[in-house]
Amino acid sequence: MKADTVRGHLDGMILAVVQDEPLHGYGIAEALRAQSDGALDLPTGTLYPALRRLERLGYLRSSWSTVDGRKRRTYELTRSGQAELSARQEDWQEVSRVIGTILRTRTAT
Amino acid sequence: MKADTVRGHLDGMILAVVQDEPLHGYGIAEALRAQSDGALDLPTGTLYPALRRLERLGYLRSSWSTVDGRKRRTYELTRSGQAELSARQEDWQEVSRVIGTILRTRTAT
DNA sequence: GGCTACATATAGACAGCCTATGTATTCAAG
DNA sequence: CTTGAATACATAGGCTGTCTATATGTAGCC
């Protein structure tokens, strides 16, 4: 499954997994892969720019640490990010309803 | 609701309404607006290029006619377009499941 | 020494939306 | 009789978030 098919909703999904617990980029990718049963496997060229963007927008806050000799940047959800997540969740309700309704097979063929 | 939020799934929705009955561009816009309870109101700069693209890809076939003194281009679904629609519907099932699962509020907060 | 997993990041391309604008007809209101 | 709204199609150029490819570095195993 291409991230292209979830375009515009990836931000919301990232905020959602970070809400559960602060995670570093690699961990976010793992969480999304796990929670989608392997369907959503983000290329790093998609994920990392998205994270920087979400931080720039004030929805995430990051801090560096070193674990087992490897540097990692851990992201946590800000107050503003929580509000954004709620908005995205509501957006999704409508989007999902609209596309679902229209795409649903009508013909009994 | 911006068409941007349904990005990548607009093609499927267009094919779906045309499957019901052949329609001209303006009629497709009306059908999508009606079936989404007014939520999806496509700008012409989005719809018309999309229709030409779908025809170029062989999913739609068009023909000109004049109704009440106005020219209209009517689109109908091709065999290939029906297959594409089926594929899009299946895609949507997965996308919807994945985003829905991840975005669904987990916190009982 | 080489492979895999872990970990982050940038560069440049590309597709599909966006807004703005243009043309043309019909019909009702003023 | 002209102005405006609805009908009808279309293009130009911009923007944003994906994409692929590439880069750098550590840890641990074979």
Position B108 in a domain: no
Provide, in whole angstroms, the distance separating residue B7's CA from nucleotide C11's C1': 25
Q: Nearest residue to D22 (CA, C1')?
A: A45
Q: CA-based angle B106:A92:B90, to the nearest 5?
A: 100
**Confidence band (pLDDT; 50, 70, 90) for B63?**
very high
Q: Residue A74: phi, psi to the nearest 5? A: -100, 135
The pLDDT mean for chain A works out to: 95
Q: What is the dihedral of CA B19, A94, B100, A63, to 10 degrees?
A: 130
Q: Do A6 and B89 touch (CB under 8 A)?
A: no
Position A108 in a domain: no
Provide, in whole angstroms, the distance separating residue B15's CA from nucleotide D11's C1': 23
The answer on pLDDT for B109 being more than 90 is no
Q: How far apart are CA B44 and CA B42, in angstroms?
A: 6
Which tokens is B18 given?
A: 């045309």
B88 and A CB contact within 8 Å? yes
| CATH number reported for the structural domain that contains residue A29 in this entry | 1.10.10.10
Q: Do A91 and B4 touch (CB under 8 A)?
A: no
Q: Choose among B10, B22, B17, B8: nearest CA to B61.
A: B22
* Contact status, residue B3 vs residue B42, Cβ threshold 8 Å: yes
Position B109 in a domain: no
Of A99, A106, A107, which to mutate for an interface test with B (greatest number of B Cβ within 10 Å)? A99
* Contact status, residue A77 vs residue A60, Cβ threshold 8 Å: yes
* Contact status, residue A3 vs residue A26, Cβ threshold 8 Å: no
- Give contacts of A105 with chain B, Cβ < 8 Å: 89
The SS3 call for residue B67 is: strand
Position B42 in a domain: yes
Q: How far apart are CA B4 and CA A70, in angstroms?
A: 38
Provide, in whole angstroms, the distance separating residue A74's CA from nucleotide C20's C1': 43
Position A48 in a domain: yes
The answer on pLDDT for B23 being more than 80 is yes
- Give contacts of A88 with chain B, Cβ < 8 Å: 103
Give the per-residue pLDDT at B107.
57
* Mean pLDDT value of segment A33-45: 96
Give the per-residue pLDDT at A9.
97
Number of domains in chain B: 1
* Contact status, residue B78 vs residue B59, Cβ threshold 8 Å: yes
The domain of A76 spans 3-103
Position B65 in a domain: yes
The answer on pLDDT for A18 being more than 80 is yes
Position A54 in a domain: yes
* Mean pLDDT value of segment B61-87: 97
The answer on pLDDT for B91 being more than 60 is yes
Which tokens is A22 given?
A: 């602060």
For A18, A74, B78, B95, the CA distances from A48, given in Å and listed in that order, are 14, 12, 41, 22
List pLDDT tens digits, range A54-101: 999 999 999 999 999 999 999 999 999 999 999 999 999 999 999 999
User: How far is C-alpha A109 from the geometric centre of its chain's CA atoms?
Assistant: 37
Position A47 in a domain: yes
The answer on pLDDT for A107 being more than 60 is no
Based on its alpha-carbon atoms, the radius of gyration of chain A, rounded to whole angstroms, reads: 16
Q: Which strands make up the sheet holding A70-77, listed edge to edge?
A: A23-24, A70-77, A60-67
